[in-house]
C-alpha cells in the first residue's frame, strides 16, 4: 500500500507541475500568461505544502526545467504544424515525411516524460510524509471540482 501511495503522490506532482507549465497556455484567455500561471501554482504549492527554502529551490528547478521543455515542445508543435499544412497543400502528400514527423514527435514526448519523471521524483523525495499527504489532499480537492 505504501508503494501505491507514493505512486499517487508522484502522479499528483506530475499533474500539478504539468498544469503549471503545459496547461498554463489554457489560461491565456483569462489574461494570465504561462509564466504568471506557473508563478501562481508555485506560490500555492509553497504555501499549501509549507515548503522550506531548499524545497522551494528544488521546486523552482523543476518548474524552470519543465518550462524549458514546454517551450521546446510548443516551438516544435508550431513548426510541425506549419510543415504538415505545407504537405497537405502540396499536389502529392509525402507520407514518409508525415511518418518522420510523427516519429520525431514521439521521441520528443518520450524525452519530455523522462525529464518530467526525473524532476518530479527528485522533488517528491524532498517532501516529508505530511507534505506528501497535504499535496495528495490538495490534488483530491482540485479533482473534486473537475480539474
- Which domain range does residue 15 map to? 2-144
C-alpha cell at 71: 517551450
Average pLDDT estimate for 117-137: 88
Q: What is this structure's pTM?
A: 0.65
Banded model confidence at residue 21, pLDDT cuts 50, 70, 90: very low
Q: Check whether 58 has a pLDDT greater than 80.
A: yes
What is the predicted pLDDT for the residue at 130?
94
Q: Check whether 13 has a pLDDT greater than 60.
A: no
- Counting the structural domains of the chain, the total is 1
Averaged pLDDT of the chain: 79
Q: In angstroms, how far is CA 39 from the centroid of its own chain? A: 14
Among residues 18, 56, 55, 57, which one has the least CA distance to residue 38? 18
Amino acid at each position: 500500500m505504501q508503494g501505491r501511495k507514493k505512486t499517487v503522490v508522484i502522479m499528483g506532482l506530475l499533474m500539478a507541475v504539468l498544469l503549471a507549465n503545459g496547461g498554463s497556455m489554457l489560461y491565456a484567455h483569462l489574461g494570465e500568461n504561462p509564466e504568471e500561471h506557473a508563478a501562481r501554482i508555485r506560490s500555492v504549492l509553497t504555501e499549501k505544502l509549507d515548503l522550506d527554502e531548499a524545497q522551494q529551490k528544488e521546486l523552482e528547478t523543476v518548474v524552470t526545467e519543465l518550462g524549458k521543455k514546454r517551450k521546446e515542445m510548443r516551438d516544435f508543435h508550431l513548426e510541425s504544424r506549419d510543415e504538415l499544412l505545407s504537405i497537405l497543400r502540396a499536389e502529392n502528400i509525402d507520407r514518409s515525411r508525415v511518418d518522420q514527423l510523427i516519429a520525431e514527435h514521439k521521441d520528443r514526448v518520450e524525452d519530455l516524460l523522462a525529464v518530467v519523471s526525473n524532476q518530479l521524483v527528485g522533488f517528491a523525495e524532498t517532501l516529508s510524509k505530511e507534505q506528501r499527504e497535504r499535496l495528495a489532499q490538495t490534488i483530491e480537492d482540485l479533482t473534486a471540482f473537475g480539474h
